[in-house]
A and B are shown apart, each in its own frame.
Chain A
């Protein structure tokens, strides 16, 4: 996903309890619902062998590694690691249905036994999360606005602005100058209010088509395709597989308006909806 770079090179957390020092670790890709042990062959980071560690009906998808984080100053190498991480998550999703993904560089210190212990301890929480994301996937919805089109709409529809514009025409030069400045400020205020109102409306509309929704910060760079436009909303949506088409349709409707463009991406593993409470222990 877009913030892959941000998660790279994260420092591995220390084991909370002081267990015996060991240099063995298990790199954790995801946790899935499964009833048998599986081997995914050498598809992991640096061609590691990826396999599952089973506890009851849940399984951790891992590879064997030293108990230290993957770190590199070479962005290309980190990029490849992240792609491999993503690839394993995708393969596991194909095999087991929606998985509970973990972020890059999540390493459990210890051997298969420690991982099994970790699954056992977190079993009910992990199971709940897996139930929650079952048959669902994460989608990203970003809506961009076109400044010129919005401005046009505002100056056509806002009565205060229309009146001010009429007023200015009748005034002498100095007075008109001052009123024009007032107009500019007013337009800016209305513009921001309008966009925030649209964003709020889109959110309440989209919410009806998804199981869960998260509002992300819009303070991020706009992709090249929409350069010059302003991102007014960025949503992570957990959508049921059967409902994605419907969601797509309403987004199409929004995209048809000349004031807005929609970027709809996915399916992703449900990173935004599995929470820290189960993912935090490493």
Chain B
């Protein structure tokens, strides 16, 4: 099979992947920031600084995405990963989540 690599395409794909990964790291950092904020390990000033830094990172990423026209490439990486994660943890609109409850309730009511 011949793989047809177009330079523009490759750049978009690769950059899309990198930005998607940075976004994921950013979200992990944000998650940590909450926990520290809520546990009181960060005072208001520190929280503000951290929030600002993360916001700037967010803006920078948005800028990079727009400038390089890789919004779709990033989205497709993220959607793919989200789908895998959702399926693994069952966090989605999914009858399996409530079907068992119903079966159990039926059994209880019929004795």
Q: How far is the CB of A192 from chain B (nearest CB, A)?
A: 6
Q: How far is the CA of A218 from the CA of B101 in the complex (A)?
A: 17
The yes or no answer to B97 lying at the interface (CB within 8 A) is yes
Per-residue contact bits, chain B 50-94, to A (CB 8 Å; 1 contact, 0 not): 111111001000000000000000000000000000000001111
Q: Most B CB atoms within 10 A — which of A174, A204, A215, A217?
A: A174
- Using known A-B contacts A200-B101, A204-B102, determine if residue A172 contacts B93 with beta carbons closer than 8 Å: no
Asked whether, in the complex, the Cβ of A174 is within 8 Å of the Cβ of B55, the reply is yes
The interface residues of chain B, by DSSP majority, are classed as helix
Kindly specify which of A33-41, A50-58, A82-90, A176-184 makes contact with the partner chain.
Answer: A176-184
Asked whether, in the complex, the Cβ of B91 is within 8 Å of the Cβ of A177, the reply is no
Asked whether, in the complex, the Cβ of B98 is within 8 Å of the Cβ of A200, the reply is yes
Asked whether, in the complex, the Cβ of A177 is within 8 Å of the Cβ of B55, the reply is yes
The one of A173, A182, A195 that contacts B93, using a Cβ cutoff of 8 Å:
A195
The yes or no answer to A230 lying at the interface (CB within 8 A) is yes
The one of B48, B92, B99, B102 that contacts A175, using a Cβ cutoff of 8 Å:
B48
Q: How far is the CB of B78 from chain A (nearest CB, A)?
A: 14
Asked whether, in the complex, the Cβ of A203 is within 8 Å of the Cβ of B102, the reply is yes
Segment 176-198 of A: residues with Cβ below 8 Å from B: 176-178, 181-182, 192, 195-197
Asked whether, in the complex, the Cβ of A174 is within 8 Å of the Cβ of B47, the reply is yes
Q: How far is the CB of A202 from chain B (nearest CB, A)?
A: 11
The one of A174, A176, A199 that contacts B50, using a Cβ cutoff of 8 Å:
A174
The one of B34, B48, B53, B93 that contacts A218, using a Cβ cutoff of 8 Å:
B93
Chain A residues closer than 8 Å to B7, beta-carbon distance: none
Q: Most B CB atoms within 10 A — which of A178, A196, A204?
A: A178
Asked whether, in the complex, the Cβ of B95 is within 8 Å of the Cβ of A174, the reply is no
Q: Which residue of B lies closest to A213 (CB)?
A: B102
The yes or no answer to A59 lying at the interface (CB within 8 A) is no
The yes or no answer to A233 lying at the interface (CB within 8 A) is yes
- Using known A-B contacts A196-B97, A200-B102, A203-B102, determine if residue A178 contacts B51 with beta carbons closer than 8 Å: yes
Q: How far is the CA of A218 from the CA of B98 in the complex (A)?
A: 13
The interface residues of chain A, by DSSP majority, are classed as helix
Q: Which residue of B lies closest to A230 (CB)?
A: B93
Q: How far is the CA of A172 from the CA of B48 in the complex (A)?
A: 7
Q: Most A CB atoms within 10 A — which of B27, B34, B51?
A: B51
Q: Which residue of A lies closest to B105 (CB)?
A: A204
Chain B residues closer than 8 Å to A204, beta-carbon distance: 102
Q: How far is the CB of A235 from chain B (nearest CB, A)?
A: 9
Asked whether, in the complex, the Cβ of B44 is within 8 Å of the Cβ of A175, the reply is yes
Q: How far is the CB of B59 from chain A (nearest CB, A)?
A: 10
Asked whether, in the complex, the Cβ of B102 is within 8 Å of the Cβ of A181, the reply is no
Segment 209-247 of A: residues with Cβ below 8 Å from B: 215-219, 230-234
Q: Which residue of A lies closest to B98 (CB)?
A: A200
Known: A192-B93, A196-B94, A216-B95. 11 other contacts (CB 8 A): A173-B55, A174-B53, A175-B51, A178-B30, A178-B47, A199-B93, A200-B101, A200-B102, A215-B99, A215-B102, A234-B95
User: What 4 A-B pairs are tightest by C-beta distance, nearest first?
Assistant: A174-B51, A174-B52, A174-B48, A177-B55
27 residue pairs bridging A and B, Cβ less than 8 Å apart: A172-B48, A173-B51, A174-B49, A174-B55, A175-B44, A175-B47, A177-B55, A177-B58, A178-B34, A178-B37, A178-B47, A178-B51, A178-B54, A181-B27, A181-B34, A182-B34, A197-B98, A199-B95, A200-B101, A200-B102, A203-B98, A215-B99, A215-B102, A217-B95, A231-B93, A233-B95, A234-B95
